[in-house]
Amino acid sequence: MKIIAGRLGGRRLLSVTDLSVRPPSGKLRECYFNIIGAQIQDARFLDICSGTGSMGIEAFSRGAAQVTFVEKSARALAVLRKNLALCGPAAACRILDGDLFRELPRLRQSGAQFDLIYFDPPYFEDLYDRALRLISTERLLDPGGSLATHHFKKTELPGQAGELHRFRVVAHGDARLSFYGWGDGQSG
């Protein structure tokens, strides 16, 4: 797996050798970053269920000012830390080691808000509705920001989660990216 573009473009990332972590394909990452475009510049980026960090590191490479990773798998965290050491963005990155339902409220208590949130939980764990509502309740998304969630094509996500509204769904093979924003959802 490689970083696709930006200041770290071409660098190889380590991955977990078993199927416990499903990193987004290079094509899906490219699709996401093409959609958000210039929003990535100087963004505060939150990568939830970040696995080995490919999305967050790609975000940093493309211009994000700050990246926060939330991951609970010890195996994935070990590889994430190695990837950050290999790529060098550690000073602009924060790793939260734990369950997202514990870590997201802690982020909000610290006053954190994010311009872009990327949520990529394990496909067949029922985390989507609860996590989207928590992100809304905790107001982790900046008013002008957007949240994207990566999910299996047959997984139905809500059109609304708290005050977050889905405003776009992009099909990519067996995967989907669903985009959410505040109010009428016309962020991004």
Q: What is the DSSP letter of 159?
A: S
Asked if the structure places residue 69 within a domain, the reply is yes
User: Which CATH number does the domain housing residue 168 bear?
Assistant: 3.40.50.150
**pTM value?**
0.92
Total number of domains in the chain = 1
Asked if the structure places residue 19 within a domain, the reply is no
Asked if the structure places residue 3 within a domain, the reply is no
Per-residue pLDDT of the chain (188 residues; tens, 9 = 90+): 888 898 888 889 888 865 555 566 778 889 999 999 999 999 999 999 999 999 999 999 999 999 999 999 999 999 999 999 988 766 789 999 999 999 999 999 999 999 999 999 987 778 999 999 999 999 999 999 999 999 989 999 999 999 999 999 999 888 999 999 997 544 44
Token pair of 4, please? Answer: 């696709």
Contacts with 74 (C-beta within 8 Å, 6 or more apart), sequence order: none
Asked if the structure places residue 52 within a domain, the reply is yes
Look at residues 25, 11, 140 and name the one whose alpha carbon lies nearest to residue 84: 11
Secondary structure (DSSP) of 92-104:
GEEEEES-HHHHH
Look at residues 75, 25, 70, 63 and name the one whose alpha carbon lies nearest to residue 47: 70
- The rounded distance, in Å, linking the Cα atoms of 131 and 121 is 10
